[in-house]
Amino acid sequence: MEVLKEKVEEEEEAEREEAAVRAERGEKVVRPMEVQREEAPMTQEMLRDLEKKLSDIEMAIPEKLSTFTKDTIDTSKLPLSYQSNTLKEEHLLQVADSFSRQYSHLCPDRVPLFLHPLNECEVPKFVSTTIRPTLMPYPELYNWDSCAQFVSDFLSMVPLPDPLKPPSHLYSPTTVLKYQEGNCFDFSTLLCSMLLGAGYDAYCVNGYGSQDMCQMDLTRDVCPLTVKHQEVVQEEEKVPPKKYAIKPPRDLTSRFQQEQETKKLEEIKAEEERQLREEEERLLDVEKAKTDPLHGLRVHSWVLVLSGKREVPESFFIDPFTARSYSTQDDHFLGIESLWNHKNYWVNMQDCWNCCKDLVFDLGDPVRWEYLLLGTEKSHLSLTEEEEDGLNDDDDVENLGKEDEDKSFDMPPSWVEQIEISPEAFETRCPNGKKVIQYKRAKLEKWAPYLNSNGLVCRLTTYEDLECTKTLEIKEWFQNREDMLELKHIDKSTGLNVDYFKPGHPQALRVHSYKSMQPETDRIMEFYDRARVDSLVKREETSKTMTEYYRGRSDFLSYRHVSFGDRVKKLSLNSAESNPRPIVKITERFARNPEQPADEDVAERVFLISEERVQLRYHCRDDHITASKREFLRRSEVDHKGNKIVMTPDMCISFEVEPMEHTKKLLYQYEAMMKLKNEEKLSRHQAWESELEVLEILKLREEEEEEHRLTISIYDTKRNEKSKEYREAMERVMHEEHLRQVEAQLDYLAPFLAQLPPSEKMTRWQAMRVKDECLSDFKQRLIDKANLIQARFEKETQELQKKQQWYQENQVTLTVEDEDLYLSYCSQAMFRIRILEQRLNRHKELAPLKYLALEEKLYKDPRLVEFMKVFV
Amino acid sequence: MNWLYDSVEPRVMDEDMLKLAVGEQGPRDEAGQLARQEGILFKDVLSLRLDFQNILRIDNLWQFENLRKLQLDNNIIEKIEGLERLVHLVWLDLSFNNIEAIEGLDTLVNLEDLSLFNNRISKIDSLDALIKLQVLSLGNNEISHMMNIIYLRRFKDLRTLSLSGNPIAEEEDYKMFICAYLPDLVYLDFRRIDDHMKELAEIKHQYGIDELKQRENLIQAQLDDERAQREELEEHKAAFVEHLNGSFLFDSMYAEDVEGNKLAHLPGVSELLQAYKDKFVIICLNIFEYGLKQQEKRKVELDTFNECVQEAIQENREQGKRRIAKFEETHLLSLNAIRDESEVTNLEMKIAEHSKDITELFNMLMTLEMQLVEQLEETINMFERNIVDLVALFIENVQSLMAQCRDLENHHHEKLLEISINTLEKILKGELDEDLPYDVRALFVDKDTIVNAVGTSHDLHLLKIDNREDELVTRTNSWCSHLVDAIHKDEIMRNRRRVKEIHQYVDHVQNELDNLECSEIID
């Protein structure tokens, strides 16, 4: 068996060498390409598959495409539908041409229509057929806002070659996706395809936009992330006054005075407002851009979504560059030439003198919108149809193909391949995984997850001035961090840092705001109290105090305030841990414990440690306004004579709302004091532990910041190293197993045994013959192989000799280049000859050994062994 | 053991003995010193141990009102008595005594752990009041009948039971039987019952248990029904229209009416009676429904009133609390300032200032309270007017309905009289075909007799109706006046309490200031 293995190896080796040789010769490996081309018409799918794979490869190593022109697109690989038109499409083009002619005849002063630009293969294609409605397999891409965001993130914008004219080419969405670049028409075609696939009533619009919009210039726009959500003040429902509600006490203040007051206040307010307005106006003047000389002429393409489907209440525009939605009355949209979806094409016949504000998007109205194809006309006028539309809403996606067939007898199906976005591309989103958007006084940077080693995915920098030089604040969003950090907010003006965490931090941290990481400085830590044993919600620290808030504890503690004194100087300078600051005062507040009577339920407990006093305030009874109080003094443990004082009445001063008998007793007071003594010790310990915990958290945070490890989901097969290794190991094992099985199946005796008559038992003579035949066969093979090598060797030698001859004959006339070529050929040929020689020698050496090995093996073969035994 | 009891005289639980026990078992060390100084009141004692004291009779324990745990084991007690006042008792140990019957435990509703180990008890009973019972120790007694176990099924919280050393423990089925009939039991005779055992027992005694359960369920359902009925009746009574949702009143009219019943035998009267009854019942039902509706109305009225008053009081209370909180801040500060002040003139000035503050607080709180009183008074008066009006309306309407009843009765009476006289005439003429019973025929001797008989019946009916009406009216009115009185009283009480509280607080604050002054002067 080993012999055979070696043989296989050798053959492989030979192949490799040949390939190497060929590569060295500078010959291109064309074979696979040829194969592919041959197969292309036969198996479209395979081609697509390959194409997809190739595109994947390109994603992995993104190369910088400086220009996105036709030259960079390999049209040869595109399917047939890209490269030619079907009969139906030809017919459609003719229809479109005649429509265009009529149109230009009727409206000579209008721009020619954007009907059938060329595609990447220089074939004219009707715009509607370029739209390929596709529902993406990602649930994130089911709604229009996420779709638009994806398109705007995924593609980088290329300005139109001529800003005043529609482009001459309109590439298929698949090509655009592949190269991640496009102009506004590419953007809107892709977005429209996705929205139609998701069931929206979407249209591509060819029209005119403002300069900012056409050039994707957001520097005059406020960043949407900086806009604070205005809190909707919930109107408190006015409860109608109840029948027996008490009348308020009589108001005895002067009404005249009040009026004067309000007048004065209003005046001040008006003055302030006026100043504010002036300031704003001044700012606006500064910001106002120079007027655009080409205003209203710049061609732009965007997407219109009509109301009705997918519960869209009102029609709106989507700018595909920025993924923002605008109302149809927005100032940025200056006019519409035409619009189309995958079924039809409409020309706007309404006047756009007032931008798009007066346009009526009733595509069923033939006066306002001139349609191209009659059959697919969609009536928005009749109610019944609309209802039907509503009913069919859900099946729309499935029915797309069908509808094309039976409804639009004229509009051929799209020539574009199915739009596919690979999961990697979907995750990477932006080209190279990075995108920067400049807004007014703000800069937004986006990264793909896992691109940055610290998990940074988004950074928003806000500036104070328009030129973006003075940083105001920085917000950084993170993803997949092991420490669950979600957002880091740095306020440059105050120097305050706020870190926000998702649930799952080892210390249950939720928010951490600080100015420096030094302990014993101002900081606020908020926690996920349900994840903590001590139900801590918040811990505020200043240099002298620490305040903790709790929620839902079984001992009803809700608040603890600790004030520290100055640290006592010790001789040896120790760290904070070994020399804690002395505690001056601990204040603890408790929520009401419903199981205890109010008079015994402590509401506030103050340990004045330096004065050795304890103050207790109890909860207020339900129908009382005063609460019981008690104060314990611990000053005199020993009286002036040296006798131990256990308890005297003046050690406890108490005020009771309803004096009770048993509380007056010294025994009761003594027991209460003993209890408090213990509790004081506990509280001090708690305070000390809290301090330690702060130190610990700070240390942990620093470590985390340095390490910034990222978590990888166990379902993420690409990034999860461990599972990848495991999987690869499994695959390797499987492969080896498979090889072994194949080998085991490879029976070197099979061909010879097959020759025997299928009798029940092999005779000894037959066995001998099988053995001999096998051996002789193998011998023949060895000889053949030697001959083959010999033949190649001779061929090479002959060629070399020929070349040498040729060289000697033409030596005089040769140019330097030819000579170089010849010399390099010679050295290569010599190398090959040497290799062949070596192989031949090695073969000669090994052949007898292999022969013997096979013989040995044959002797031991279980099928022959019984016959051989006797023989041996 | 016997020689011990023989040799020692039985002892009486007298004051000395109790004092000694309390003293011995009271606090120790420094606390004990304090306790001795002040003396311990019996009612403050939570736990008492009186074992090996040769007590024959439990006595003089009534002072220990708050006792939680009582140990009376290893005595010679023969009867459980004198424990009625110890209602807070949770733990009672009466083991190693000579008790023969369980008794005298009916007031100990909080008892959770009862030990009667080593006594002479032969029957488990009289434990009904002990609904919280968790541990019951009855070992080494003379319980011989298995059916005692079933009695224990009523204690839902019972988890531990010991019965070893009883004659029933000798029976072979003992364990199985207990496990089957007391499925919630966890420990039996100080051992945990394993699940396997439970399963086995359940299978074995399935029939018996099912039957028992069925019976228990039936009884339970019956009790529930009765309770529901009672509640409904209570509701109707609150609406003052009980027994008006049917022919109850009508039936009661005829229940004592001998003549009326006799006359019913006359021809044509039974139809008349039936029609009369139908109409009468319809009116009764009207009254009933109207009553319920009015009751609902009154309730809503009362609820809104209470709610509003509560709101007002709460609001006022919050204000008061805020004032006091504000005052306390300044109070502490100025007390400290006064303490630190050394110069006499300044000191006096500050003290004066602070007393002014206190007076101001007092005035403020009092003003608040007076304001509330005024507001509440107004509201209460309004409510009173409304509720009185409501009640008056109710009564008026009911009375008019009752008048309808009376009209019906009068109408019926006339008809009946007519029929009777006709019949009399027929009888006199001898034209009557039908046979009348003898006693009915006896009425028809002359006109006076029959008219009297019919009149008696009529008077009786009217009397019944009047009685019912009177009852309704008086009860409604008394409810109304009681309600109003209670509201006034509550308000007065509230006011008194608040005023007292304010005085108390202000006095306390003033005292603090005075004490400070005194100490200053002494210094």
The nearest CA of chain A is from the CA of B456 a distance in Å of: 52
A587: left (phi over 0), alpha (psi -120 to 50) or beta: beta
| ipTM attached to this prediction | 0.75
pLDDT of residue A11: 53
Q: How far apart are CA B291 and CA B281, in angstroms?
A: 15
Judge whether A672 is closer than 8 Å to chain B, CB to CB: no
Helices (H), A251-348: 255-287
Please answer yes or no on whether A246 and B308 come within 8 Å at the CB atom.
Answer: yes
Q: What is the pTM of this model?
A: 0.66
Q: List the single residue in A with minimal CA-CA distance to B31.
A: A667
Which residues from A are below 8 Å from B38, CB to CB? 665-667
Q: A631 pairs with which residues across the strands? A: A615, A653
Which residues from A are below 8 Å from B378, CB to CB? 246-247
Which residues from B are below 8 Å from A247, CB to CB? 375, 378
The predicted-structure confidence for A47-62, as pLDDT tens digits, reads as follows 566 555 555 544 433 3
Please answer yes or no on whether B38 and A667 come within 8 Å at the CB atom.
Answer: yes
- Angle between helical axes of B206-238 and B174-181 (0-180°, round to 10): 30
What's phi and psi for A718, nearest 5 deg?
-75, -40
Q: Which of A604, A644, A661, A667 to mutate to test the interface with B (most CBs of B within 10 A)?
A: A667
Rg (CA), chain B: 38
Judge whether A245 is closer than 8 Å to chain B, CB to CB: yes
Beta-strand relationship, A369-371 and A345-348: antiparallel
Q: How far apart are CA A127 and CA A119, in angstroms?
A: 10
Q: What is the pLDDT along chain B (523 residues), one digit of tens a residue?
A: 444 555 567 888 888 888 888 888 877 777 777 777 777 788 888 888 988 888 888 888 888 888 899 999 999 999 998 888 889 999 999 999 999 999 888 899 999 999 999 999 988 888 888 999 999 999 999 988 888 888 998 898 999 999 988 998 888 888 888 888 888 899 998 889 888 888 888 888 888 889 999 999 999 999 999 999 999 999 988 888 888 888 888 888 888 888 888 888 877 888 888 888 899 899 999 999 999 999 999 999 999 999 999 988 999 999 999 999 999 888 888 888 888 877 788 888 888 888 899 999 999 999 999 999 998 999 999 999 999 999 999 999 999 999 999 999 999 999 888 888 888 888 888 777 677 778 777 778 788 888 888 888 889 899 999 998 999 999 999 999 999 999 999 999 999 999 999 998 999 888 888 887 776 665 5
Nearest to A553 by CA among A571, A536, A541, A572: A536
Residues in chain A: 872
Please answer yes or no on whether B31 and A671 come within 8 Å at the CB atom.
Answer: yes
List the single residue in A247, A626, A666 with the smallest CB-CB distance to B38. Answer: A666
Q: How far is CA A398 from CA A134, A173, A263, A394, in A?
A: 10, 20, 67, 8
Residue A436's CB is within 10 A of a number of other CB atoms, namely 11
What's phi and psi for B309, nearest 5 deg?
-65, -45
Q: Count Cβ–Cβ pairs < 8 Å, chain A vs chain B.
A: 74
Nearest to A416 by CA among A186, A133, A205: A133
Q: Which long-range contacts (CB under 8 A, 24 or more apart) does A14-23 make?
A: A14/A839, A17/A835, A21/A828, A21/A832
Burial of B300 (0-12, 13-18, 19+ CB in 10 A): exposed
| Helix and strand counts by DSSP (H, E) for chain B | 13, 8
Which residues from A are below 8 Å from B375, CB to CB? 246-247, 249
Please answer yes or no on whether A249 and B383 come within 8 Å at the CB atom.
Answer: no
Q: Provide the 3-class DSSP secondary structure of residue B389.
A: helix
List the single residue in B40, B304, B321 with the smallest CB-CB distance to A242. Answer: B304
Which residues from B are below 8 Å from A625, CB to CB? 317, 320-321, 324, 365, 498, 501-502
Contacts of A677 (CB under 8 A, 6+ apart): A634
Can you spell out the DSSP letters for A556-622?
-EEEEEEEE-PPPPPSS---TTTSPPPEEEEEEEE---TTS-GGGSEEEEEEETTTTEEEEEEEEPT
pLDDT along chain A (872 residues), means of 10: 48 54 45 42 57 49 43 72 85 87 86 85 87 88 88 86 85 86 89 90 89 78 68 61 74 85 94 92 70 80 87 87 85 86 86 77 83 62 41 43 46 85 82 82 85 85 83 88 88 89 88 86 90 90 90 90 79 54 89 86 88 86 84 66 63 78 76 87 90 90 82 74 82 89 72 69 77 86 90 90 87 82 89 90 89 84 69 48
| Helix and strand counts by DSSP (H, E) for chain A | 20, 25
Q: How far apart are CA B5 and CA B98, in angstroms?
A: 12
Q: Which of A623, A626, A633, A662 to mutate to test the interface with B (most CBs of B within 10 A)?
A: A626
The nearest CA of chain B is from the CA of A651 a distance in Å of: 14
Burial of A539 (0-12, 13-18, 19+ CB in 10 A): buried
List the single residue in A624, A667, A671 with the smallest CB-CB distance to B501. Answer: A624
Q: Are B502 and B362 within 8 A, CB to CB?
A: yes
Please answer yes or no on whether A625 and B376 come within 8 Å at the CB atom.
Answer: no
Please answer yes or no on whether B501 and A626 come within 8 Å at the CB atom.
Answer: yes
Q: How far is CA A332 from CA A319, A328, A351, A803, in A?
A: 10, 10, 17, 74
pLDDT of residue B197: 87
**CA A328 centroid distance within chain:** 31
Helices (H), B430-446: 438-443
pLDDT of residue A4: 44
Residues in chain B whose Cβ is within 8 Å of chain A: 27, 30-31, 33-35, 37-38, 40, 44, 301, 304-305, 307-309, 311-313, 317, 320-321, 324, 365, 371, 375-376, 378-379, 382-383, 494, 497-498, 501-502, 504-505, 508
Please answer yes or no on whether A670 and B34 come within 8 Å at the CB atom.
Answer: yes
| The one-letter amino acid at A856 | E
Judge whether A645 is closer than 8 Å to chain B, CB to CB: no
Q: A475 pairs with which residues across the strands? A: A460, A489
Q: B382-420 burial by CB neighbour count: b if 16+ within 10 A, else e?
A: ebbeebeebbeebbeebeebbebbeebbeebbebbbebb
List the single residue in A244, A626, A662 with the smallest CB-CB distance to B308. Answer: A244
Judge whether A635 is closer than 8 Å to chain B, CB to CB: no
Q: Are A309 and A396 within 8 A, CB to CB?
A: yes
Instruction: Please report, in angstroms and rounded to a whole number, the separation of the first and last CA atoms in chain A.
Output: 22
Q: B122 pairs with which residues across the strands? A: none
pLDDT of residue A287: 61
